[in-house]
């Protein structure tokens, strides 16, 4: 081989090395971008997880508000049961069917109700 062929071979090899380096850089760049994209979307603190956590937070806040409202109504009922004798009497009459002396309970049938065995 002569010197010109050797130089041509060296140039081609250098060009190939540069192209190889560029390809490796591109592959690394794409790989890093894919990893970052994965972490942003699918990671533990990614967009999908954060969206799910926000939805869960709203649901739990709704449940908390419902529990607080229930707690408030129970507190009011406790106060009434501790201090309001007319409320206690109402509960005793409605829930337990208690009556005073000389009182009678009258049960009325709905006009739409039929007695057993009665035909139209």
In a domain, 114, yes or no: no
Helices H / strands E in the chain, number of each: 3, 0
> Which domain, by its residues, includes 95?
52-99
Distance spanning both ends of the chain, measured CA to CA: 120
pTM of the model: 0.51
- 10-residue mean pLDDT series, the chain (120 residues): 62 78 95 93 88 96 98 96 92 83 78 64
Q: Check residue 42 and give its pLDDT.
A: 87
> Is residue 49 within 8 Å of residue 43, measured between CB atoms?
yes
Q: Check residue 16 and give its pLDDT.
A: 81
In a domain, 119, yes or no: no
What is the greatest pairwise CA distance in the chain?
134
- Tokens 């419902």 sit at which residue? 66
Does one domain contain both 56 and 38?
Answer: no
Does one domain contain both 57 and 92?
Answer: yes
Gap between the Cα atoms of 46 and 38, Å rounded: 8
Domain count for the chain: 2
Structure tokens at 22: 């560029």
Does one domain contain both 57 and 28?
Answer: no
Does one domain contain both 38 and 64?
Answer: no
> Is residue 39 within 8 Å of residue 46, measured between CB atoms?
yes
Does one domain contain both 75 and 93?
Answer: yes
Does one domain contain both 57 and 80?
Answer: yes
Does one domain contain both 81 and 59?
Answer: yes
Structure tokens at 54: 């926000």
In a domain, 24, yes or no: yes
């Amino acid at each position: 081989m002569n010197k010109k062929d050797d130089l041509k071979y060296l140039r081609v090899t250098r060009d190939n090395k540069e192209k190889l380096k560029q390809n490796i850089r591109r592959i690394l760049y794409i790989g890093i971008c894919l990893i970052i994209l994965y972490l942003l979307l699918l990671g533990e603190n990614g967009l999908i997880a954060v969206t799910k956590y926000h939805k869960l937070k709203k649901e739990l806040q709704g449940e908390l508000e419902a529990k607080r409202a229930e707690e408030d109504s129970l507190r009011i009922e406790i106060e009434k049961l501790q201090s309001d004798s007319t409320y206690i009497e109402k509960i005793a009459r409605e829930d337990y069917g208690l009556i005073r002396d000389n009182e009678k309970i009258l049960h009325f049938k709905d006009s739409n109700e039929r007695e057993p065995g009665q035909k139209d």
